[in-house]
């Protein structure tokens, strides 16, 4: 009898093997150009990724977290401001708010899509609220139309955390065009990932784009002229060259993710709660997350059977020690608390094999 397949949570080798020559050529192109920061590859990638999203501007930065930080600054968020963020997200969404001196206000998520609940946002707005940062969680856009209406009504900014949502759609528009600015991460495991850290701010707003250009480059407007307190946060040329090659595969890869998700949807129906896709949304399955009241038993069974799983996220942002003194942590976040106990992320990556998917499904269904 052969040993059952071992299934890693994520494996980038399949994705890279198919394009290894292209990746090496891209890196050699940069070595040959001898331009390593802010050069032609970065500019070309910015043009290409903006076009992919259907937006006017893309400005490459050092990471997704920096994209959030610089977008908040460009939107004028600072000391004594409040910013609405979902409690159910990667902590970086909230950290970026804190970095600019503002206070994250944690709001609960929708019970089915797990994205920021517009009905709860309204109740959390105060005269100090300066921006809303919905997260397109697991690859699915938040319900942007009511959020945009609230933001417009109050004259506040709407900033997408699109770190998990390259290519995700909402009412025929792509993530990146659904607010004042959108923040992408190119961390290696994201749907579009570099060979290291990287990020970008995508926007249709000329002024925001110009501000980000300064903020990522020491506040420089021309050589030796620094007009704002800028930072050093650039997407380097090697990463940009690699991302240009990978961008040509993004649609194919997202389709492969959707096919794997469709297999799980069918194979797991009735055993666990499979993901719900909201109306008018295209989910690109950065993560495939199921829900079960017996999550810990399920996770143990999968581990035992050689299948790696993860939890996104076991400790909600408002429960993190870093936020222990925040006054808002007592707000009603019951859904987030339950999700932290019941969600489990299953292996899903480009190149996951049919037998690996079968193996995962078999173990999830076992009792």
Ligand X SMILES: *Cc1c(COP(=O)(O)O)cnc(C)c1O
CB of residue 133 vs ligand X: minimum separation in angstroms?
Answer: 9
- List residues near ligand X by CB under 6 A: 63-65, 89-90, 92-93, 135, 161, 163-164, 185, 187, 197, 199
Query: In the complex with ligand X, which residue's Cβ is closer, 309 or 356?
Result: 309
CB of residue 57 vs ligand X: minimum separation in angstroms?
Answer: 19
Q: Which residues face 82 on adjacent strands?
A: 103, 129
Query: In the complex with ligand X, which residue's Cβ is closer, 103 or 185?
Result: 185
Query: In the complex with ligand X, which residue's Cβ is closer, 64 or 275?
Result: 64
Query: In the complex with ligand X, which residue's Cβ is closer, 63 or 254?
Result: 63
CB 254 within 8 A of CB 191: yes
Task: Please give the C-alpha separations between residue 16 and each of 49, 321, 350, in angstroms, as whole numbers.
Answer: 20, 37, 10
Sign of CA dihedral 335, 124, 158, 38: negative
CB of residue 37 vs ligand X: minimum separation in angstroms?
Answer: 18
- The DSSP code sequence of 52-87 is HHT-SEEEEES-HHHHHHHHHHHTT--TT-EEEEES
End-to-end C-alpha distance for the chain, whole angstroms? 23
CB 23 within 8 A of CB 245: yes
CB of residue 262 vs ligand X: minimum separation in angstroms?
Answer: 23
CB of residue 155 vs ligand X: minimum separation in angstroms?
Answer: 25
Query: In the complex with ligand X, which residue's Cβ is closer, 160 or 205?
Result: 160
Query: In the complex with ligand X, which residue's Cβ is closer, 196 or 306?
Result: 196
Name the one residue in this structure whose structure tokens are 């609960």: 108
Backbone angles phi, psi at 21, to 5 degrees: -60, -45
Q: Which runs of consecutive H residues, i.e. helices, occur in the chain?
A: 13-17, 20-33, 40-53, 64-74, 92-99, 118-124, 144-154, 206-215, 237-247, 250-268, 295-304, 334-342, 354-365
Backbone angles phi, psi at 220, to 5 degrees: -85, 135
CB of residue 192 vs ligand X: minimum separation in angstroms?
Answer: 11
Query: In the complex with ligand X, which residue's Cβ is closer, 201 or 363?
Result: 201
Backbone angles phi, psi at 280, to 5 degrees: 65, 25
Query: In the complex with ligand X, which residue's Cβ is closer, 191 or 309?
Result: 191
Q: Which residue minimizes CB distance to ligand X?
A: 64
CB of residue 164 vs ligand X: minimum separation in angstroms?
Answer: 5
CB of residue 327 vs ligand X: minimum separation in angstroms?
Answer: 23
């Amino acid at each position: 009898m052969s040993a059952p397949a071992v299934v890693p949570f994520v494996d980038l080798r399949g994705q890279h093997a198919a394009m290894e020559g292209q990746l090496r050529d891209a890196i050699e192109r940069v070595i040959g150009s001898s331009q390593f920061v802010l050069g032609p590859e970065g500019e070309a990638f910015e043009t290409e990724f903006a076009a992919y999203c259907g937006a006017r501007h893309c400005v490459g930065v050092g990471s997704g977290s920096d994209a959030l930080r610089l977008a908040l600054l460009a939107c004028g968020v600072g000391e004594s401001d409040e910013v609405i963020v979902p409690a159910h997200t990667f902590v970086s969404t909230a950290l970026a708010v804190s970095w600019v001196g503002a206070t994250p206000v944690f709001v609960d998520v929708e019970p089915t899509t797990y994205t920021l609940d517009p009905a709860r946002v309204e109740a959390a707005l105060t005269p100090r609220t300066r921006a809303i940062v919905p997260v397109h969680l697991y690859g699915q856009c938040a319900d942007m139309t009511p959020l945009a209406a609230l933001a417009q009504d109050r004259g506040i900014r709407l900033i997408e955390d699109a770190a998990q949502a390259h290519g995700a759609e909402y009412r025929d528009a792509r993530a990146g065009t659904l607010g004042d600015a959108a923040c992408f991460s190119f961390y290696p495991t994201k749907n579009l990932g570099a060979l290291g850290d990287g990020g970008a701010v995508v926007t249709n707003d000329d002024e925001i784009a110009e501000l980000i250009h300064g903020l990522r480059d020491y506040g420089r407007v021309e050589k030796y002229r620094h007009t704002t307190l800028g930072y050093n946060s650039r997407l380097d040329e090697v990463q940009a060259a690699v991302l240009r090659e990978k961008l040509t595969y993004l649609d194919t890869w997202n389709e492969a993710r959707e096919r794997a998700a469709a297999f799980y949807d069918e194979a797991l129906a009735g055993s666990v709660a499979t993901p719900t896709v909201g109306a008018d949304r295209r989910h690109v399955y950065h993560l495939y997350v199921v829900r079960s009241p017996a999550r810990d038993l399920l996770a143990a069974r999968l581990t035992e059977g050689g299948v790696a799983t993860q939890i996104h996220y076991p400790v909600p942002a408002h429960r993190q020690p870093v936020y222990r003194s925040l006054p808002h942590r007592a707000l009603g976040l019951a859904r987030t608390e339950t999700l932290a106990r019941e969600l489990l992320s299953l292996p899903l990556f480009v190149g996951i094999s049919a037998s690996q998917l079968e193996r995962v499904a078999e173990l999830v269904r076992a009792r």
